[in-house]
Structure 1
């Protein structure tokens, strides 16, 4: 049986960060990735004639962990196109066109009212369960909107904005998800909007994860799906045995799981997982939507558009301007609350969904990855249901014997973002470094 100091399960940002920190500290680390690539729920792939981010996409300098890594690896940023036009649904439920300034004026009151108590609810963004949030954690975002008394047009526009943020029906998402991200930007909703969907990593996230991986001295093994993790022994003999689906077994002094809550049931754990993990896995987190890339004919005006929160695509914007032998075209990125309602092979239904957001475009083709149907994720980006944050976060962060949990799902500051994944990887690596004696390497080895 092969023996290492630490096995890290998963080579997304959380796993790569933990593996780098641990290998740099002198531990023998084996990183096991079930996919045929690194990156986890980030995936840069060449489709529709352009490199596209099928998963996570945007970063910002108010996200401290990701920005430190951006600085470390000299990664630059590119701005997504600034909209010249805005589209939203009027009081009659039909799309209407206006300026960016008109749309921002329409949503300003509602966006502020949704998070108006953020400084009392979460006075310290890095500690999301501190403050009055426990008193509010039974509420959904929809509950909050329904109590604001907004005019129908303003309410619909505000709801669609938040569907874009949380990737799920608002009735299923805890108000805590809205408050924690705004708390992370000092209580300013405008800055939170910018931080979540404005600046891309130059060169793509594939190059970013490759840069982190290049500093890991241990093996990163792809196509290596873990079947079980069993802990045994006590004291100096305490260890875990990681069994792959191939039957191979690896003995380790520590194991770091980076699986998201929804997918962690794909591995058998002995002893069984802590209650918070089992409970949230059974409940599922709220996110259940889709991200879709759509090619439309011609170079269209820079725009963003919001349909109704119940439409298949609730948010749509122009992202790339391209040309090939077929002529000029624009690549749009869209988001919807229900992954099952968007079929990239059904151009007619996609055309209808686009028309609900921004009429007058000709859909040519589309692509996406269904993260909900992917057994290794079973979710997009983490958003909590009511009660889940304050009830479970502390336990989700706790170690269980030799087993550590590092995922954006259990981050403090930017849970659900790349920043949260990096935070969790750093946290668990430090816990291991502080608790596991460093191996004595022979001189010259």
Structure 2
């Protein structure tokens, strides 16, 4: 039976970083805020859960002090960081698929030239990371990351290694990803690709992402309703009417949607979403890959392994071992190591099939026995339908500015439409702060 709830000032759809930060800011300003979250938890595409005997990050994981919004929030909530284990051994493929092993220095020497060439023009086409559209990036935005690699004279060994490194960053096939996605992240670190690599894959949050988002949720002066899906949003003359999956109708003066681009079609919008949102949703963002946690037998030396961009797992790293963990043995006494792997296409790997994962591991780091695997397929999650955001060729300059604009009484806060660290937690926080400010200004002017 349909019910009518008490009206509020602002409804926020989604309780990830963007939604929680926006709700906190608006509640602190004295507005009546209601957060509607379809999941049974806060955190969105960040999610810490105990699996394989460890606290694992099933979604977003790494942070860095060069991400300003992230670091400010970490300071506010007294979060600390811990370094992921530094590799002691590196594995990659040589010419003809020959397996190679060496030191970190060996691998960095192998990729140094290629990594620089990929982003060599970043300071010219995107001089300020905070303004990704401020330079002549439109001249290159139709290029894919694969187009850039194809223009470089790299030998087979260097090419495979360099392409796999970028699969780890963009979580997609390189011909599907705009070169601008690589350039904007390097622009965020002042043009230094080495720092971008460190910022995106080195430091974890002590206590986990879920504890952090729960702490932000506790500061929200308003209701956060979990297990509450939204089926429709209707704009009337001076109100937004939200209908939930249970038939409840809730009115608000403004609404903030924090849904990723790929998931906005899960709600019926009246009037329809702006053309940029419809177009971007139809095209989908490029990142549609795999993140999988793997338990293997024994204490394995800390390593990182790279295949090619066509392998189901292109990047594989040891993450927990021995004294890195709260437990290093199973109840039956089996000593183990926990690995994390990334691949370009979630359809290439059945993460529920230990045998299939074993074959994928063997291809990049042979000699390991897979015991268990776990993952969350964000592509099959109707509330995300993507891992983290990367633009397709041409989409940055075509869509970003429009994606940031309100549509009547509806605002959009998501890492997918952030300026500085789009696709990262930092971008989610940035967008939440931006839209909270806009909503406060709009409500104030409304009287």
TM-score, normalising length: structure 2: 0.96
* 1:393 paired to 2:397: no
Secondary structure of 1:272's counterpart equals coil
The aligned residue for residue 286 of structure 2 is 286
Superposed displacement of residue 171, structure 1: 0.5
Q: Distance in 1 between matches of 2:421 and 2:152?
A: 26
1:3 counterpart (7, 23, 26) = 7
Secondary structure of 1:282's counterpart equals helix
Q: Distance in 2 between matches of 1:369 and 1:38?
A: 16
- 1:384-423 CA-partner distances (Å, limit 9, x unpaired): 0000000000000000110000000000000000000000
Q: Which 4+ residue blocks in structure 1 deviate beyond 6 angstroms?
A: none
Count of residue pairs brought into register by the alignment: 436
* 1:314 paired to 2:314: yes
Superposed displacement of residue 94, structure 1: 2.8
- 1:236-255 CA-partner distances (Å, limit 9, x unpaired): xx110011011101000000
1:324 counterpart (330, 341, 345) = 330
Secondary structure of 1:401's counterpart equals coil
Q: Distance in 2 between matches of 1:338 and 1:208?
A: 29
* CA root-mean-square deviation: 1.0
2:409 counterpart (360, 382, 402) = 402
* 1:94 paired to 2:98: yes
Secondary structure of 2:106's counterpart equals helix
* 1:191 paired to 2:195: yes
Q: Distance in 2 between matches of 1:311 and 1:52?
A: 24
The aligned residue for residue 443 of structure 1 is none
Secondary structure of 2:358's counterpart equals helix
Superposed displacement of residue 119, structure 1: 0.4
Secondary structure of 2:79's counterpart equals coil
Gaps of 5+ in 2: 322-327
The aligned residue for residue 63 of structure 1 is 67
The aligned residue for residue 19 of structure 2 is 15
Q: Distance in 1 between matches of 2:392 and 2:34?
A: 34
The aligned residue for residue 243 of structure 1 is 243
Q: Distance in 1 between matches of 2:121 and 2:352?
A: 44
* 1:343 paired to 2:354: no
1:243-262 equivalences in 2 (<5 Å): 243-262=243-262
Secondary structure of 1:324's counterpart equals coil
Q: Distance in 2 between matches of 1:371 and 1:346?
A: 17
1:39-438 equivalences in 2 (<5 Å): 39-233=43-237, 238-321=238-321, 322-326=328-332, 327-437=334-444
CA gap of 1:324–1:438, structure 2 versus 1, over 3 A, is: farther
8 Å CA contact 1:26–1:439 kept in 2: the answer is: no
8 Å CA contact 1:261–1:280 kept in 2: the answer is: yes
Q: Distance in 2 between matches of 1:164 and 1:73?
A: 29
Q: Distance in 1 between matches of 2:175 and 2:97?
A: 20
- 1:352-404 CA-partner distances (Å, limit 9, x unpaired): 11011111111001000000001000000000000000000000000011000
Q: Distance in 2 between matches of 1:214 and 1:262?
A: 28
Secondary structure of 1:309's counterpart equals coil
Secondary structure of 2:8's counterpart equals strand
Q: Distance in 1 between matches of 2:44 and 2:414?
A: 11
Superposed displacement of residue 85, structure 1: 0.3
Superposed displacement of residue 106, structure 1: 0.2
8 Å CA contact 1:289–1:336 kept in 2: the answer is: yes
Secondary structure of 2:198's counterpart equals helix
